[in-house]
Amino acid sequence: MKIGALTLDQPVALAPMAGMTDTAFRRLVKRKGGCGLVVTEMVSSEGLVRGIDRTLEYAEYTEEERPVSIQIFGGDPAVMADAAQIVEGMGADVVDINMGCPVPKIAKHQAGCSLMREPSHAAEIVRAMASAVKIPVTVKMRAGWNEKEINAPLLAKMVEDAGAAAVAVHGRTAAQSYTGESDWSLIGRVAGSVAIPVFGSGDCVLPDQVVSRLRDTGARGVLVGRGALRNPWIFSQAATLAAGRTLTPDVALEDRGAFLLDYIDLLMRERVGESAGFRHTAPGVTAPEPARGRERWVINKVRALGAWYTKGLDGGAQLRVAINSTDSVGALRQLIHEFFGAPALVGG
């Protein structure tokens, strides 16, 4: 599977998720195997161009995450082209454009999904970016703005003509947000309307769903979002199934706990500025925060992941409540250790 000149080992990628797919989470997902590409949280093109520290942090990544796609949002072709050059200068493998975000704060500024309502303008952004950088420019879109304006097949063709190297389609409209179901027959239609690879997105929560979408829909790749927040092993499990092998029994509870503890460790290290391997940042990033603020930040990140990660676990609801009432990283580690490491608590 190729995006421009870039070859992916696997056709399954970690979807961009604001607040969730930070560098720590992406690293851990990669370590579990089977993930062909990771995409960052969406990053503001204006923030990148102005060199705002917070924005630059969202775009940080480490070598072990490669290949890495940095997703940017914005509506001004010149600013998006400049931002793409910054992304390229940071060494990213792909620059992705967000044309799917339905949140009014983003979508009202000719950005995110509102670009789907202005296909010519959207294509102009792609053209400006593709002529500014050598790395592949890709587009992530939805089915359309609403049920009356479903235009992903047309927009995909237009951005292909403007120089996009691949597109990803989340088969819901902006109006649907996350209700209903992702329309994979529409994703198939998009795949049939362009020569570049199409990634389908939406509702692949189990590894066999990933495999059947790849087999049956015409999509050459699949993005996994919420399924990876619940089960970061979904990529390796899907690769196992796709290779015709049978899955080993479920991930052991201790391994699930270890994932959360590793996540905490990486987050803590991140913010104290200890070496996290070779990091790619633009100049001017990483002023360590005071310890207390850092701890609060880590707790909030674990709460955010915990909301997804605990779903479907025996005793998951109680664990969520407990995580949400924990106010130190030490107590959080202890709680995770007890829940996942002490089988007696399971089922409670």
Ligand X SMILES: Cc1cc2nc3c(=O)[nH]c(=O)nc-3n(C[C@H](O)[C@H](O)[C@H](O)COP(=O)(O)O)c2cc1C
Residues of the shown chain interacting with ligand X in the complex, contacts defined by CB under 6 A? 15-20, 41-42, 71, 98, 100-101, 140, 170, 201-204, 223-227
| Closer by beta carbon to ligand X, 169 or else 335 | 169
- Beta bridge partners, 43, equal 72
State which residue has the least CB distance to ligand X.
Answer: 225
Q: Is 35 a residue of the active site?
A: no
State which amino acid sits at residue 57: E
140, 182 Cβ separation under 8 angstroms: no
188, 218 Cβ separation under 8 angstroms: yes
Hey, what long-range contacts does 246-255 have (CB within 8 A, 24 or more apart)? 247/207, 253/340, 253/343, 253/346, 254/340, 254/341
> Phi and psi (nearest 5°) for 248?
-75, 165
Closest CA to 100 of 161, 37, 30, 190: 190
| Closer by beta carbon to ligand X, 41 or else 270 | 41
Q: SS3 for 82?
A: helix
Minimum distance between the CB of residue 184 and ligand X, rounded to whole angstroms? 11
Minimum distance between the CB of residue 34 and ligand X, rounded to whole angstroms? 15
Minimum distance between the CB of residue 196 and ligand X, rounded to whole angstroms? 17
Minimum distance between the CB of residue 96 and ligand X, rounded to whole angstroms? 8
Question: Among all chains, which residue has been given the structure tokens 């890495």?
Answer: 68
Closest CA to 77 of 152, 163, 15, 5: 163
Active-site residue list: 101
